[in-house]
Amino acid sequence: MRLTINKIVLLLSTISALIGLAFLGWILITLIMKGLSSFHLSLFFKDLIDKGLRNLIIGQFIIAGLASLIGIPIGMLAGIYIQEYGRGKFVRLIRDLSDIMMSAPSIVIGAFVYAVVVAPTGGTSGFAGSIALAIMMIPIVINTTDNMLSLVPRELREAGIALGASKYRVILDIIIKAAKVGIMTGLLLAFARIIGETAPLLFTSETSNYFSLDLTESYPSLTVSIYNLANDPTQASRDLAWAASFILTMLVLFINLIGRYITRHKG
Amino acid sequence: MEKIFKNLSLISATFVLVLLVSIFISLFNSAKPSIDEYGLGFVTESAWDKEVPIENSVSSLANDAKPIKKEVKASSDEDDILAAYEDEDEPLTKTVFGGWIPIVGTLLSTLIAMVFALPIAMGIAVFLAEIAPKNLSYVVGIAIELLAAIPSIIFGMWGLFYFAPIIQKVVGGYQVSLLTAGLVLGVMILPFMAAITRDSMRTTPDVLKESAYALGATKFEVIKDVIFPYSKKGIIGSIILALGRALGETMAVAFLIGSVFMMPKKLSDPTISIPVAMANNFGEATGLTLSSLFYLAFLLFIISFVVISVAKFYFLRKAD
């Protein structure tokens, strides 16, 4: 009897794993089939107004890139403070708050940026979108930096100090270098996470049909456009949405796999 | 230089605190007109953007028209005078906003997602942590984690075009409904829940498991009597964290829930959730509509703040 129950339970959990994998397979196969059938290289050379995706892809990268430029330094500095300088209650508070922010609903971040950036400046803009994504990114970067720096052995710090180096030199030249691979991977994954975000961009950057480098205007966004295109009743728009989703997912999975590869072989 | 660097890093750390506080304040401020107008009754009011005749809805208002006029005169705010002026033109109706339907939609879709995802996620976690050989567990583990990395908008699209039609065939009713939204949401949180539950299970020391095996326990008994009790807190924390994620998820639900302010009578009815109400109405909203949406955002932020805090600090806090 015990053995039978054992078998049944093990079988059930194996089946659940298969169900989980089946969903992954189903989603990926759907994406690849629909994506490839609507995919065409010319999509990379035309803007949305001409039924292409060029402006959207570039726009998404620029918004996410600018978000990284804002978010990475702040996040890394905060992580360094938590791990290297601060102690006691304040550090614990910051760590806890950043943990909570990491899981905060992204649409609420969008609403916040709408209230403090979009409404005062009078309209949606690429900058507002970048700020929203930067806010999403900061806690992730803090978490990564914090974790990776905590893995650096204490002796390295002591050796640096013993050589007479000032603390910030020790941090920049020794500790960060020692934790480089881990931090790089973390930053890569953080980037992969924000580049696929839609909700915080819906009413901050919005999207645009045209190629644009002017970040003070509504800015082309791949994800927001996927949402609009998929809700469009015409088949052509839906096909374009599938092609865009395909490109986006492959990009995100690719970055994730690179991150994994780096940690496995050099970490 | 040392000082500059240290201060910069202190400022960055403090920035997190400032950010969180300003999110609270600015959401509250933007929601203020709606909070003033409807108070806490907003939470249980099921009308949204509905013209309600004043006399019928609030009889006390009609009884004492004088005090209200006094108040208007007393305040020098231009908006109030303007509002009073407009009231003279159409004095008989006012617009009512309430959050009950999106709140119910959010809670129910999350509940469906949890009921669907929980058993499967537990199964996957047990499979990865205890059943599968190491290599297989590694590969399947990566596959599950990749599934968790797929942007949520993809789940929404797949759900709308491929999953919903099947559910509709089985259950009937509409393609976009509470049920399909909940199920797709479940598929979305499944890998996340499975991955962190597996991590919790793995914290069980091998010695404990080996002792149980040595006593003749079956694998199921080890899982039930050793691993679960040992990692109970972590597992519950993981589940609550997944719950928090489901509550705030926008895109996977936006495609599927139907986005209508309608109280669902059965699972196959369309309705709306807080994030979707924001996603679809925020862009064009002004005035009371906008501040009511901010009111919803404020409520969602508080709910998820509490849920995440409970998960992280009660259940997942490492003993240190």
CA–CA min distance B110, chain A (Å): 14
- CB-nearest to A85 from B6, B124, B162 is B6
Q: Using an 8 Å Cβ cutoff, are B35 and B295 in contact?
A: yes
Instruction: Give me the helix-helix angle, A235-266 and B134-149, nearest 10°.
Output: 140
Establish if B122 touches chain A: CB-CB under 8 angstroms: yes
Q: Is the pLDDT of residue A40 over 80?
A: yes
Contact B5 A171 (CB under 8 A): yes
- Report, as an integer, the average pLDDT of B163-175: 88
CA–CA min distance A78, chain B (Å): 4
Q: A175-179, A233-237, B84-88, B191-195: which has the minimum mean pLDDT?
A: B84-88
pLDDT of residue B315: 85
Which residues of A are less than 8 Å from B161 in CB distance?
A: 30, 238
- CB-nearest to B127 from A17, A106, A198 is A17
Instruction: Give me the helix-helix angle, B178-201 and B228-248, nearest 10°.
Output: 140
Position A15 confidence tier, pLDDT thresholds 50, 70, 90: very high
Percent of chain A with pLDDT over 70: 99
Instruction: Give me the helix-helix angle, B287-309 and A106-113, nearest 10°.
Output: 140
Q: Using an 8 Å Cβ cutoff, are B310 and A99 in contact?
A: no
Three-state secondary-structure class, residue B47: coil
CA–CA min distance A35, chain B (Å): 12
The ipTM estimated for the assembled molecules is: 0.92
- Report, as an integer, the average pLDDT of B32-37: 93
Q: A149-163, B77-91, B96-110, B295-309: which has the minimum mean pLDDT?
A: B77-91
pLDDT of residue B89: 52
pLDDT digits (tens, 9 = 90+) for A208-220: 999 989 999 999 9
Position B162 confidence tier, pLDDT thresholds 50, 70, 90: very high
| Sign of the four-CA dihedral B62, B67, B70, B75 | negative
Q: Is the pLDDT of residue B109 over 80?
A: yes
> What does the mean pLDDT of chain A come to?
92
- Report, as an integer, the average pLDDT of B68-91: 49
Which residues of A are less than 8 Å from B10 in CB distance?
A: 81, 85-86
The span from the CA of B319 to the CA of B279, in Å, is 40
The span from the CA of A189 to the CA of A64, in Å, is 13
- Report, as an integer, the average pLDDT of B187-215: 92
Of chain B residues 212-251, which have a CB less than 8 A from chain A? 218-221, 223, 241, 244-245, 247-251
Q: Which ranges of chain B would DSSP assign to H, the alpha helix?
A: 2-38, 54-57, 59-63, 65-74, 78-89, 100-126, 134-149, 152-158, 164-171, 178-201, 206-214, 219-222, 228-248, 251-254, 274-281, 287-309
Q: A176-190, B45-59, B125-139: which has the minimum mean pLDDT?
A: B45-59
- Report, as an integer, the average pLDDT of A114-118: 95
The span from the CA of A67 to the CA of A76, in Å, is 14
Burial (CB count <10 Å: 0-12, 13-18, 19+), residue A234:
exposed
- Report, as an integer, the average pLDDT of A193-212: 93
Q: Read off the amino acid at residue B244.
A: G
Of chain B residues 262-301, which have a CB less than 8 A from chain A? 275, 278-279, 282-283, 293-294, 297, 300-301
pLDDT of residue B201: 92
Q: Is the pLDDT of residue B188 over 60?
A: yes
pLDDT of residue B82: 53
Contact A245 B154 (CB under 8 A): yes
Q: Is the pLDDT of residue B176 over 50?
A: yes
Contact A78 B1 (CB under 8 A): no
- Report, as an integer, the average pLDDT of A133-140: 96
pLDDT of residue B86: 52
Q: How many CB pairs under 8 A join A and B?
A: 259
Q: B44-48, B100-104, B289-293: which has the minimum mean pLDDT?
A: B44-48
Contact B294 A115 (CB under 8 A): yes
Establish if A163 touches chain B: CB-CB under 8 angstroms: no
> What does the mean pLDDT of chain B come to?
86
pLDDT of residue B73: 44
Q: Using an 8 Å Cβ cutoff, are B2 and A87 in contact?
A: no
The span from the CA of A132 to the CA of A108, in Å, is 10
Contact B251 A227 (CB under 8 A): yes
- Report, as an integer, the average pLDDT of A175-183: 91
Position B68 confidence tier, pLDDT thresholds 50, 70, 90: very low
What is the value of pTM for the model shown?
0.89
CA–CA min distance A198, chain B (Å): 7
Q: Read off the amino acid at residue B54.
A: I
Q: A41-55, A211-225, B56-70: which has the minimum mean pLDDT?
A: B56-70
Which residues of A are less than 8 Å from B20 in CB distance?
A: 97, 100-101
The span from the CA of A63 to the CA of A215, in Å, is 9
Q: Is the pLDDT of residue B56 over 90?
A: no
Establish if A51 touches chain B: CB-CB under 8 angstroms: no
Q: Is the pLDDT of residue B61 over 50?
A: no
Position A262 confidence tier, pLDDT thresholds 50, 70, 90: confident
Of chain B residues 129-168, which have a CB less than 8 A from chain A? 131-132, 140, 142-147, 149-158, 160-162
Question: Hey, how many other C-beta atoms are within 10 angstroms of the C-beta on B180?
Answer: 31
pLDDT of residue B67: 44
- Report, as an integer, the average pLDDT of A127-134: 97
Establish if B196 touches chain A: CB-CB under 8 angstroms: no
What is the C-alpha radius of gyration for chain A, rounded to an integer number of angstroms?
A: 22
Establish if B5 touches chain A: CB-CB under 8 angstroms: yes
pLDDT digits (tens, 9 = 90+) for B254-307: 999 998 998 998 888 999 999 999 999 988 888 899 999 999 999 999 999 999
pLDDT of residue B256: 94
Establish if B40 touches chain A: CB-CB under 8 angstroms: no
The span from the CA of B160 to the CA of A231, in Å, is 10
pLDDT of residue B93: 82
- CB-nearest to B10 from A16, A81, A97 is A81
